């Protein structure tokens, strides 16, 4: 907890303490912590002298500002129609088999979280998936096994 306090303070020193600073600060927390806890939000509210409900509102508005604990690697599989038609369902099944979790869950070792996401803008190269900031396109079940295997072994 004291680390979060320190982190929020550092981020506020860097981005400022205005309303406009809120988003970059929240993004900074996600980068470091993978998610924004209620404690972190309280700290942001205190640091920026604003209401915690407003911080919560902003955090819950943006899909990429997670408010629940996440694994080290957050996998987001595109769920929109083009990717769906190009075989997203098999990909999802493969991911669930590999990681032994369902959508919305995190592996026991806290390494992976599996999520679905709205359009990533890669419809022409679907199915598409994100792992943290890394984009993977035209994925197949085989490719996914390879990618995840690599993450499991080498990262």
Partner 1 sequence: MAKTVNLKIDGISVSVEQGTTVLGAAKQINIHIPTLCYHEDLCVAGNCRVCVVEQEGAKNLVASCAMPASEGMIIHTNTHKVRNARRHVVELLLSEHNADCTKCYKNTKCELQNLASEMVITEPMFIDLVPFKEYKIDKQSPSIIKDNSKCIRCQRCVRTCHELQHVSALGVAYKGDHMKISTFFENPMYDVVCTNCGQCVNRCPTGALVEKNYIDQVWEAIYDPNKHVIVQTAPATRIALGEDLGMESGSIVTGKMAASLRRLGFDSVLDTDFTADLTIMEEGTELLTRLKKALVDKDTSIKLPMFTSCSPGWIKFIEHLYPEYLDNLSTCKSPQQMFGALAKTYYAQKKGIDPASIVSVSIMPCTAKKFEAARPEMRDSGFQDVDLGLTTRELAVMIKQAGIEFESLADEKFDSIMGESTGAAVIFGATGGVMEAALRTAYELITGREVPFKNLNITAVRGMEGVREASVKLENVLPAWSFLEGVELKTAVAHGLTNAHQIMEAIKKGEAHYHFVEVMGCPGGCIGGGGQPIPTTPEIRKKRAEAIYREDEGMKLRKSHENPEVIQIYKEFLGEPLGHKSHELLHTHYVPRKRV
| Beta pairing class for 112-117 and 73-78 | parallel
List binders of partner 1 among 52-91 (CB under 8 A). Answer: 52-57, 60-61
Q: How far is CA 3 from the centre of its chain?
A: 21
Stretch that binds partner 1, among 49-57, 68-76, 107-115, 127-135 (CB under 8 A): 49-57
Residue 46 makes contact with partner 1 by CB under 8 A: yes
Give dist(CA 142, CA 106) in Å, integer: 22
Stretch that binds partner 1, among 44-52, 77-85, 92-100, 131-139 (CB under 8 A): 44-52
Which residue number, 58 or 94, has a Cβ lying nearer to partner 1?
58
Q: Which residues of 14-41 are buried (b: 16+ CB within 10 A; e: fewer)?
A: ebeeeeebbeebbbbbbeebbbbeeebb
Which residue number, 39 or 149, has a Cβ lying nearer to partner 1?
39
Based on its alpha-carbon atoms, the radius of gyration of the chain, rounded to whole angstroms, reads: 17
Footprint of partner 1 (CB under 8 A): 38, 41-42, 45-46, 50-57, 60-61
């Amino acid at each position: 907890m004291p680390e979060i306090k320190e982190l929020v303070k550092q981020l506020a020193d860097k981005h400022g303490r205005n309303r406009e600073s809120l988003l970059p600060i929240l993004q900074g927390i996600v980068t470091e912590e993978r998610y924004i806890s209620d404690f972190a939000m309280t700290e942001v509210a205190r640091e920026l002298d604003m209401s915690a409900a407003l911080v919560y509102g902003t955090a819950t508005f943006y899909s990429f500002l997670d408010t629940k604990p996440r694994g080290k690697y957050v996998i987001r599989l595109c769920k929109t129609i083009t990717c769906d038609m190009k075989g997203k369902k098999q990909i999802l099944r493969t991911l669930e088999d590999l990681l032994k979790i369902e959508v919305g869950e995190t592996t026991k070792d806290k390494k992976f979280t599996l999520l679905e996401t709205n359009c990533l803008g890669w419809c022409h190269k679907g199915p598409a998936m994100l792992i943290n900031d890394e984009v993977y396109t035209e994925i197949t079940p085989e490719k996914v096994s390879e990618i995840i295997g690599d993450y499991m072994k080498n990262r």
